[in-house]
């Protein structure tokens, strides 16, 4: 069996991350990101569920996730996965979109999967120059040309945010979790906060957000942890600041969601 390789680069000029996973079998749980993910499958077939819709994806398929799009995926053919993607924070996307369109807004991709996309070779070229740490402006040129085509072909043309509508109770829960993620939170806390029964709260929140309240909390904790690791905080300190019981618990969760250990992720930003 081939050895898995997980490579991540942060490009300080474009200010985006590039992930390259080779030979992995990892199943990723239902989660979301606070940033855009644009990626493609190089080898292997995967089962993908995004916003409660199911897809079978294969080499050459383009993946487009908005911030907040819940998704989960796993292998379906017993073979390993080779995958490349770039991650773009909303503030970076907003600046790029303004450069391209002259309008100040965040785009919303209308589909998470574009089967056999003609844009995959362009994304591969961009990914390669980031991985090779090239400094030429060709990198910026590819980045803008790729985004221009994605915006034109696969986003809503109205100036709208990727966030979906939600009930007041769901908003209260999200706000509470985002402000108290470092604390121990119980389902009773959320029930008392909203006045909803625990079962109805679980059913209603999951239907609206596509993810359970606890999975939402896990995702917040992991995203907060990423920011602290980017700033050079040690994994043991990050674990304590983000609500995990200990470093081992934190490390297991981080790799499950991100595909890297906290230390591997932290090392990406050491020389930046």
Report the share of the chain in percent with pLDDT over 70: 95
State the pLDDT at residue 271. 62
Say how far residue 227 (Cα) sits from the centre of its chain: 13
Confidence of residue 1 (pLDDT cuts 50, 70, 90): very low
Q: Determine the Cα–Cα distance for residues 169 and 245; give it in Å rounded to an integer.
A: 28
Q: Determine the Cα–Cα distance for residues 51 and 109; give it in Å rounded to an integer.
A: 13
Residue 52 and residue 112 in contact, taking contact as beta carbons nearer than 8 Å: no
Q: Determine the Cα–Cα distance for residues 69 and 32; give it in Å rounded to an integer.
A: 5
> Nearest to residue 203, comparing CAs of 220, 187, 226, 218?
187
State the pLDDT at residue 158. 54
Can you give the pTM of this predicted structure? 0.79
> How many residues are there in the chain?
272
* Structure tokens given for 166: 């939600």
For the chain, what are the domain ranges? 5-154, 168-267
The CATH number that domain 5-154 falls under is: 2.60.120.10
**Averaged over 241-254, what is the pLDDT?**
87
Using the CB atoms, write b or e for 156-186: b if 16+ within 10 Å: eeeeeebeeeeeebbebbbebbeeebeeebe
pLDDT in tens, 176-212: 999 999 998 998 999 999 999 988 898 899 888 888 8
CATH topology of domain 168-267: Arc Repressor Mutant, subunit A (1.10.10)
């Amino acid at each position: 069996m081939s050895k898995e390789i997980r490579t991540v680069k942060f490009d300080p000029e474009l200010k985006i991350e590039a992930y390259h996973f080779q030979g992995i079998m990892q199943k990723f749980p239902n989660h979301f990101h606070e940033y855009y993910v644009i990626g493609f499958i190089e080898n292997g077939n995967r089962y993908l569920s995004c916003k409660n819709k199911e897809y079978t994806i294969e080499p050459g398929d383009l993946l487009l996730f908005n911030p907040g799009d819940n998704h989960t995926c796993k292998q379906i053919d017993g073979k390993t996965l080779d995958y490349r993607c770039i991650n773009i924070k909303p503030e970076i996307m907003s600046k790029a979109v303004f450069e391209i369109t002259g309008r100040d807004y965040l785009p919303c991709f209308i589909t998470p999967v574009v089967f056999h996309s003609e844009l995959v070779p362009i994304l591969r070229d961009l990914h390669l120059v980031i991985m090779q740490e090239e400094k030429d402006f060709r990198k910026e040129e590819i980045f803008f040309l790729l985004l221009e085509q994605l915006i034109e072909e696969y986003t809503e043309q109205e100036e709208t945010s990727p966030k979906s509508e939600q009930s007041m109770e769901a908003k209260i829960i999200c706000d509470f979790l985002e402000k108290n993620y470092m604390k121990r939170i119980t389902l009773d806390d959320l029930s008392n906060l909203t006045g909803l029964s625990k079962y109805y709260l679980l059913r209603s929140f999951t239907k609206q957000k596509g993810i359970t309240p606890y999975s939402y909390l896990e995702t917040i904790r992991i995203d907060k942890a990423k920011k602290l690791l980017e700033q050079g905080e040690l994994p043991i300190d990050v674990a304590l600041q983000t609500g995990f019981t200990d470093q081992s618990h934190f490390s297991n969760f981080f790799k499950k969601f991100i595909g890297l250990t906290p230390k591997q992720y932290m090392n990406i930003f050491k020389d930046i």
